[in-house]
Structure 1
Amino acid sequence: MRQVNPEFAPRAGLSRAEMESLQRRVAERAVFEDDLGFDPASVSLGTPKNATLSGGTDVPLVAGIDQSFLDDRALSAVVVLRGDEVVERVHAVTELDLPYIPGLLSFREGGPILDALAKLEHDPDLLVFDGSGRIHFRQAGLATHLGVICDVPSIGVAKSLLCGTPDEAVDGRPEGWHTPIRADGDVDSVGGHSATAETTLGYAFQSRQYDSRPIVNPLYVSPGHRVAAETAVHLVSNLSGGYKLPEPTRLADAYADEAKAQYED
């Protein structure tokens, strides 16, 4: 998988001001509307393997992306699905240049993920990241940053809320519930992308809930690139199986742990 816009790739040695400036440039290039190249309804874990899109192409390839860590190295894992079929798995191990800094995750993990994506033989139609997209201080989280670099539709699925305010309280909601996350004072307007109290950055989405277990917290779903916020949450809902995480990132998480074991022995 190639980089369409390599000028936005994270680089070592940048100051914080330079990293934030690059994120603003990424956000200006990002598209937070649907420009998918496939019918969102065709994305489902139950899609028949012989189904085709209206244009005659195969069912979309969805890549889940996650990481594990080996001291000062990142192991980036990518699992590509067509429907419920795994068609490819790749990983890469890369030295880390930065510690974790809230709001600058793409500069720590972006390069390692790009190394893994470069190994793919298939070109995914949709990238699903363990991390934020537009729900970000400069509207350019990990999913937005790498989605713009690859110019592929992308979605961020985070386990915690980096910024923004939900329309409703999120605790104890039933499975399938979702509510908009609006921009707050921590979010910058960038280019043509406003950050007013009416701006929907993404959604809190309750993917799973169990009566017999402790309350499951929601996921925070936001568009990365070339996906609208409402479409993003519906795609994640379609990709949810019997677990909290959508199946592409759940499988990438499991594969990251599996691959990590070979380096620890």
Structure 2
Amino acid sequence: MRQVHPEFAPRPGLSRGEMESLQADVAAAATFEDDFDFDPASVSLDSPAVDAPLVAGIDQAFLDDVAVSAVVVFRGGTVVERTAAVSPLDLPYVPGLLSFREGGPIIDALESLDSDPDLLVFDGSGRIHFRQAGLATHMGVVFDTPSIGVAKSLLCGTPKTDTDGRPEGWQTPIVANRSVDSVGDHEATSETVIGYAYQSRQYDSRPIVNPLYVSPGHRLSAETAVELIANLSGDYKLPEPTRQADAYADEAKASYRT
């Protein structure tokens, strides 16, 4: 993959204020409406591989002061490419500034791909973010590629209805609250839907599974983002692209350690 907007790429040495200002610029450049060429129904683990768009799952593992960034690319339910990059970490984890810690290493991995994915799925937030510019938004804008953030916890915003103990397939909108800034043309009112809580799985044999928090990163609406993640869900809580990226990151980390 090639960076389309390298001017938005995270870079080391920025102050907190400069990082937040760059996030605001990223959010202003992002599109939270559908702008893509593929049929959403074709984004499915059951789609014939020959007809399906390319979907990349991205996740990371960490070892001391390096990140192992893994990308697994699917066409339908078939893995067509895997790649990983090992990159130094320049920052500690700071809530709301994750893309400045993890974004550079992810760029290294994405740039090593031979394929050019139609959709990027990240383990992290997109529009569900204090400045509407989480990891999926930041990377989506840098590569100008439709992207989705899938987080296991809620960074900000408010679910419209209670999320506890919901059945598989259930969803509810996440609306902005006072912790979410309006940026550019993107308002953040109590009626602004910035993502969805999505109950991907429940198991009779296990305690209650919490929902995922799905938000558009770039060039997708919140409604389409959660539809696509539902299509990409298999037998596990996480959508299959990021679940396999997580496993491959651990595999690559083990190889690097030895």
Q: Pick the TM interval, shorter chain.
A: over 0.9
Q: What is the 5 A alignment of 1:145-160?
A: 145-160=138-153
Contact 2:130–2:180 (8 Å) recurs in 1:
yes
Q: Which amino acid aligns with 2:118?
A: D
Count of residues paired in the alignment: 258
Distance 1:220 1:229 in 2: 11
- TM normalised by structure 2 equals 0.99
Q: Deviation per CA, 1:152-186, whole angstroms, max 9, x where unpaired? A: 00000000000000001101100000000000000
Q: What is the 5 A alignment of 1:71-220?
A: 71-220=64-213
Q: Which amino acid aligns with 1:27?
A: A
Q: What is the 5 A alignment of 1:9-28?
A: 9-28=9-28
Is 1:229 matched up with 2:184?
no
Segments of 5+ residues of structure 2 without an aligned counterpart are: none
Distance 2:49 2:241 in 1: 16
Is 1:264 matched up with 2:257?
yes
Segments of 5+ residues of structure 1 without an aligned counterpart are: 52-58
Distance 1:263 1:113 in 2: 17
Q: Give the secondary structure class of the aligned counterpart of 1:213.
A: coil
TM superposition outliers: structure 1 runs of 4+ over 6 Å: none
Q: Give the secondary structure class of the aligned counterpart of 1:88.
A: strand
Q: CA offset at residue 49 of structure 1?
A: 2.2
Q: CA offset at residue 36 of structure 1?
A: 1.3
Q: Give the secondary structure class of the aligned counterpart of 1:27.
A: helix
Q: Give the secondary structure class of the aligned counterpart of 2:206.
A: coil
Distance 1:87 1:263 in 2: 23
Q: CA offset at residue 211 of structure 1?
A: 2.0
Q: Which residue number in structure 2 is paired with residue 68 of structure 1?
A: 61
Q: Give the secondary structure class of the aligned counterpart of 1:114.
A: helix
Contact 2:128–2:155 (8 Å) recurs in 1:
yes
Q: CA offset at residue 50 of structure 1?
A: 3.3
Among all aligned residue pairs of Structure 1 and Structure 2, give the percentage whose two residues are the same amino acid. 76
Distance 2:150 2:77 in 1: 19
